[in-house]
Amino acid sequence: MLSLAVRPSDPNIELALWNAADVGEYLGIHQSTVWTYLAQGLIPAPIRLGGSVKWQRADIVLFLDCDCDMKKFRQRKRVQDR
């Protein structure tokens, strides 16, 4: 389980799709750490749109609601996607 310093959300970061910098800002980590955690399977996977990599805001919020625990996140995501 990760321990992240969550900062108050920036009003400019309310888009439905976030890049690595947005995810990092929301989770209180550097964007390079976002990529490291992704490679280690510690954060939700992004989606690819053309040449861009984006995370769904709802996934990151759910991940945080699950105390940054990928097992809990996957379980709740499965239920949510039904």
Provide mean pLDDT across the span 4-30.
77
Provide mean pLDDT across the span 7-19.
66
The three-state secondary structure class of 75 is helix
At 81, the amino acid letter reads D
Provide mean pLDDT across the span 2-15.
56
Question: Domains plus CATH for the chain?
Answer: 16-80 (1.10.1660.10)
Residue 21, pLDDT above cutoff 80: yes
Residue 5, pLDDT above cutoff 90: no
The three-state secondary structure class of 81 is coil
User: Rounded to an integer, what distance in angstroms lies between the CA atom of residue 50 and that of residue 77?
Assistant: 24
Convert the pLDDT of each residue in 23-71 to its tens digit: 999 999 999 999 999 999 999 999 998 999 999 999 999 999 999 999 9
At 82, the amino acid letter reads R
**DSSP string computed for 37-72:** HHHTT-S---EEETTEEEEEHHHHHHHHHTTT-HHH
Q: Give pTM, 2 decimals.
A: 0.80
